[in-house]
């Protein structure tokens, strides 16, 4: 018998002319393309105060956000058991469209350069705060309203690179930035608002 959680009517004989069950919409899922990412640059990182510090519309792809707990392996005679060890956050990579305005590449580079300046070889030369308080990935419903939220805290850019330049492609140029963060939270009560 068909599980009624998956089908509105489990009786195939009474549903439509084709005799197939009607699939329930109660199992609908969040689409991978229904998201927004919000983050604000740390203070004193942006060189041009007229440029907004939120590149929500420029972000076109966000990799999986997660944490992993390492195993502590314990061997006792013929048995092997495991205990949870240290938790470590995974790297987060965001791909941004390289827009003319608001100069996405330049501002993301300024943030990266606040950590390491390759022209001088100095780390955090101006003693700026290079970590942003948080970044928020909002999962949106069919109406574009926040449904769930993944928040990462203490985020900073680990790597910055441009996409390849190629005459034969018909796509926007992108900037790929890998971020590190200290810890994360997943919630079904979003605190960040969608634009």
Whether 145 and 98 map to the same domain: the answer is yes
> 11 versus 167: which is more confidently predicted?
167
Instruction: Flag whether pLDDT at 9 surpasses 60.
Output: no
Please indicate, yes or no, if residue 23 is contained in any of the structural domains. Answer: yes
Distance from C-alpha of 183 to C-alpha of 88, rounded to nearest angstrom: 8
Strand pairing class (174-180; 92-97): antiparallel
Q: What is the pTM of this model?
A: 0.77
Instruction: Flag whether pLDDT at 48 surpasses 60.
Output: yes
Whether 21 and 72 map to the same domain: the answer is no
Distance from C-alpha of 189 to C-alpha of 163, rounded to nearest angstrom: 35
Rounded to 5°, angle at Cα 63 from 59 and 69: 140
SS (H, E, C) 19-43: CCCCECHHHCCCCCCCEEEEECCCC
Please indicate, yes or no, if residue 90 is contained in any of the structural domains. Answer: yes
Whether 14 and 79 map to the same domain: the answer is no
pLDDT in tens, 132-175: 888 999 998 888 888 999 999 999 999 999 999 999 989 888 99
pLDDT-based confidence at residue 17 (cuts at 50, 70, 90): low
Q: Which two tokens stand for residue 107?
A: 């501002």
Whether 9 and 74 map to the same domain: the answer is no
**What total number of domains does the chain contain?**
2
- Domain span including residue 2: 1-28
Closest of 186, 195, 182 to residue 150, by C-alpha = 186
Query: Cβ(39)–Cβ(155) under 8 Å?
Result: yes
For residue 62, give the CATH number of its domain. Answer: 2.30.110.20
pLDDT-based confidence at residue 25 (cuts at 50, 70, 90): low
Please indicate, yes or no, if residue 58 is contained in any of the structural domains. Answer: yes
pLDDT in tens, 76-129: 999 999 999 999 999 999 998 888 877 788 888 888 888 888 888 888 765 667
Whether 96 and 161 map to the same domain: the answer is yes
Q: Which residues of 155-170 are buried (b: 16+ CB within 10 A; e: fewer)?
A: bbbeebeebeeeeeee
Whether 76 and 150 map to the same domain: the answer is yes
Please indicate, yes or no, if residue 122 is contained in any of the structural domains. Answer: yes
Please indicate, yes or no, if residue 194 is contained in any of the structural domains. Answer: no
Whether 4 and 98 map to the same domain: the answer is no
pLDDT computed for residue 110 by the predictor: 84
pLDDT computed for residue 165 by the predictor: 92
């Amino acid at each position: 018998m068909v599980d009624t959680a998956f089908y509105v009517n489990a009786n195939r004989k009474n549903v439509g002319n084709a005799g197939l069950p009607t699939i329930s919409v109660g199992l609908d899922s969040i689409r991978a393309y229904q998201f927004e990412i919000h983050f604000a640059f740390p203070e004193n990182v942006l060189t041009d105060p007229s440029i907004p510090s939120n590149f929500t519309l420029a972000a076109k792809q966000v990799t999986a956000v997660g944490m992993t707990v390492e195993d502590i392996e314990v061997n006792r005679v013929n048995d092997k058991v495991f205990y949870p060890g240290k938790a470590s956050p995974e790297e987060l990579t965001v791909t941004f469209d390289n827009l003319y305005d608001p100069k996405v590449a330049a501002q993301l580079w300024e943030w990266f350069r606040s950590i390491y300046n390759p022209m001088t070889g100095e780390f955090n030369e101006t003693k700026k705060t290079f970590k942003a308080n948080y970044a928020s990935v909002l999962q949106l419903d069919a109406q574009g309203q926040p449904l769930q939220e993944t928040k990462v805290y203490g985020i900073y850019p680990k790597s910055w690179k441009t996409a390849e330049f190629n005459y034969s492609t018909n796509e926007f140029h992108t900037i790929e930035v890998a971020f590190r963060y200290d810890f994360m939270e997943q919630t079904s009560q979003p605190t960040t608002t969608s634009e």
